[in-house]
Structures are given as C-alpha cells and as structure tokens.
Amino acid sequence: MKNWISLLLIVFGVMPCARGGEIIFEPNIEYASPDNQHLQLNMARPKEAAGAMPAIVCIHGGGFRAGNRTGWDARCKEFAARGYLAVTIEYRLSPKFQFPAAVHDSKSAVRWLRINASKYHIDPERIGAIGDSAGGHLVQFLAVTDAVKEFEGEENPGASSRIACVVNYYGPSDFTKSYGKSVDAAEVLPLFLGGDLEHERQRHIHASPLNWVTPNAAPTLLIHGTEDKYVAYEQAAWMHDRLKAAGVEVQFLTLQGAGHGFKGEDAQRAAAAAQEFFDKHLMNVEAKAEAPHQPMKGVRIAAAQPKSRLIDWHVKDVDEVLKGVDQSLSELEGLIDRAAAEHCDAIALPEDTLGLGTWEAGNVGMAKEVLPRAVKMMLERFGAAAAKHQMYLVCCNDFVESIACRFSKRTTWAAWGC
C-alpha cells in the first residue's frame, strides 16, 4: 500500500547560447599577491561563450577573520549555467590583515577581471558582485567607493574597480551601531579594525559603507532577515534609506523570521531575487535601455495522451517490464516528433510518463531494481529528443515508498544537468 506519493517534475530543454549548456570550473587561479599572500579565486564559466559575457564576483563571509571561497562554488556554477562568468575569491583576513586590506583585495579582483576580459570573453561593463555577511559588507563597499583612491590598493593597476550592481546578503552598514545588537561584534570588530569602538571610533566610521554613499553608488539589492542575531536587520534598513535618499536604485527584500545564513525557502527566495536582479542589470543591459514595450512572443504547448501504454502489474520479469517501458517511450517519442512538426515550443507528457504506475502498485519489491533503469532510459531518450527538436519536455512520475525520494532527487538532478 502506498504510504506517500512524491510528484517528480522533470524539465528537459536546450537553452540558446550558453544558458543551460556545459560549464568549465577552474579552481585555484591566482589573481593578486599583496604581502606575498598569493590570493586565489575559483572560476565557473560557460564552455561555449556567445560573445562577451557578464561577470559576477562572489565574496564569502566569516566575520572578516574566517570563511572560505569554496562556499560559493555551487552558486558560481549556477551562474555559469545561466551564461555568466562567476568567480569566488579569497581575501586577506584579520587579525593579521586589518581594514582596508579586504577591501583592497575585493577591488583587485574586479580589476583582474577587466585586465583578463579578452582572455575569458568578459564584458568589462557588466561586472556585478554578491556577498554574504562580511562579504556583503565588502560588495557594498565596492558599490559606494568607486575611484576612492585610499581603498583601491596597489594590485592589478591600470583598470577600474567600478561595479555595475551588487547583491548584499545581510552585510553590516554602520559599525558604530553594531555593538550590543550583534552576538559577536565585540569579538569580531576589534580584530578587523584594530580596537573597539571606544578606542578606534574613527576607523569604525571610516569602515562603514553607510558613510560613503553618493548618488554615484551602484544599484543595490539588500536581502536581510528580521531575526538576524549577528547583523541586525536595521543595518540593511539604514543602507536602504541612505541609498534611496541619494537617488540610487535600491531594492530591499525582507525575509520575515529569517536569521543569519538563509535556509530552505528563505534561501530559495533570496537566490531567486538575486538572480532576477543580476539578469536585469547584467544580462539585459541593452534591452533595459529600450523605451518601447516589446510584445511577448506566443508559446505553443502540446499535451500528449497516448491511447494505452500502461504495463500490467502481473508482469514479474524485469526484462519484460523494461521492454514495456521501451515501447511506452517509443510511442511518446512519436508524439514528440509530431509536436515538433507542428512547431510547438514544449510538450507536456502524461502524468505516468513511464507507464509504470499500475505495475508499481503491485510490485513494490521489484521497483528498486526497475525504476533506476527505467528512469535512465527516459532521461537519455527524452534528453536526446529535446536536443533534437530544441524544445522543452515536461514529464511527471509518481514514485512511492522510501526509494521514491531517492530516485526523485537523482532524476531531477540529472534532468537539469542535460
């Protein structure tokens, strides 16, 4: 008997240009060596570049004293799959290296991208940045201190550190108001700034991005949770108000009840907002400047429903079951060909795409052996069909019991990797 049913939604598709295509991941690239530190970055980029690409600099958090660039590797790969070149950088940490060393390193990384624009097919006018916590502070500093000489540093001279836009995940904006509102400010900030507020007030003021806002600041997306115990929510509110007062484009996403370090649905909402913001400012620069409204192109969607292709639950031979799956897939491939001939952009296949729903209900024990092989057949054949016709395929399958969750996750990952 079915204890639960999980619905697996798989979308196959071949995106134009670089989006959705293969990516290249290159770790451990040295981008600067201040104080003989040999700072490195990890880079993800599309394998096939259709012209100059926008770039995103990712900067990790860790209270300016810890953290690792690898924490942003996965997001860099996601950006690359959408047509961006993305790098995640390391920077000098406190207490050995105090402010503004980390700012110098962040700007140096931006300059490195511009210096290497030809080599990596980067559009130097479309470079953005994203960071969390201490990294959020550093990207905000990039946004508000363009061409401020004292923050530029000496590495990678001859190029601009100007940034086109930034996404700030819960980064502090005013260090003078962090004490008493953060569980670790009294421990972290003296290491970064050379003393506490009483002894180094001027450095706290100097290191606060809130105090550097001008009308020339880069467009900014602020994302902050209302229950953040490390960087108070009001820090983002102050930055939002200051940027808005200066006439700078700013968006503010409040995540009710979220703490420091987003999880689950909060992480998904933040990631979606960041992607939309970058797509607007970096991926569609020319389109954004166009005044006339462009009408949406119509999309043709076909729905497939074969006459009869369900596999009888009495079949107990694995090879016979898979033979039935093969026949089901062949019938659906014929419908996909017909939809393509009618110039459809997508086709929605039946709910029980494999035709195993009835059979599975009576053969739970054999499902562990059959389902992975059947799913593999479906991925390979429908992935090829999607590539052949340059169209999307939407498939649904009901899997049951504990093995269902495992197969569902594997299949979803594989489908998006096509």
Pick the range with the lowest mean pLDDT from 289-303, 364-378, 380-394: 289-303
pLDDT digits (tens, 9 = 90+) for 276-285: 999 999 987 4
Domain-located, residue 3? no
Q: Are residues 280 and 303 in the same domain?
A: no
Q: Is residue 8 included in any domain, yes or no?
A: no
pLDDT range class, residue 190, cuts 50, 70, 90: very high
Q: Is residue 375 part of a domain?
A: yes
Same domain (yes/no): 391, 357? yes
Q: Do 247 and 348 share a domain, yes or no?
A: no
Domain closes at, from 261, 289, 317: 289
**How far is 218 from 215, CA to CA, in rounded Å?**
9
Number of domains the chain contains: 2
- 232, 327: one domain: no
The reported pLDDT for the residue numbered 308 is 59
Model confidence over 68-88: pLDDT tens digits? 999 999 999 999 999 999 999
> Is 327 in the same domain as 237?
no
Instruction: List the domain range (segments joined by +) for residue 330.
Output: 297-416
In a domain, 12, yes or no: no
Residue 185 reports pLDDT greater than 70: yes
pTM higher than the cut 0.75: no
**Co-location of 395 and 315 in the same domain:** yes
What pLDDT was estimated at residue 9? Answer: 33
In this predicted model, which residue has the larger pLDDT, 297 or 326?
326
Residues 186 and 320 in one domain: no
Neighbours of 269 (CB within 10 A): 15
CB distance 323 to 370 below 8 Å: no
The answer to the question of residue 14 being in a domain is: no
Convert 344-409 into a string of H (helix), E (strand) and C (coil).
CCEEECCCCCCCCHHHHHCCHHHHHHHHHHHHHHHHHHHHHHHHHHCCEEEEEEEEEHHHHHHHHH
Burial of 73 (0-12, 13-18, 19+ CB in 10 A): middle
What proportion of the chain, given as a percentage, has pLDDT over 70?
Answer: 85
**Are residues 135 and 240 part of one domain?**
yes
Shared-domain flag, residues 243 and 310? no
My answer on whether 58 and 206 are in the same domain is yes
Question: Picking from 3-17, 92-106, 182-196, which range would have the lowest pLDDT averaged per residue?
Answer: 3-17
* C-beta atoms surrounding 168 within 10 Å: 34
Domain boundary among 231, 258, 289: 289
Residue 361 in this model has a pLDDT that exceeds 80:
no
Q: Is the pLDDT of residue 15 over 60?
A: no
- pLDDT at position 396: 63
Same domain, residue pair 208 and 98: yes
For residue 9, is it within any domain?
no
Region 28-56: what's the mean pLDDT? 95
Q: Which of residues 289, 316, 341 is at a domain's end? A: 289
Strands 5-12 and 250-255 come out as unpaired
Please give the pLDDT value at position 387.
77
The answer to whether position 13 is within a domain reads: no
The CATH number of the domain where 175 resides is what? 3.40.50.1820
Are both 206 and 246 inside the same structural domain?
yes
Residue 6 counted as domain residue? no
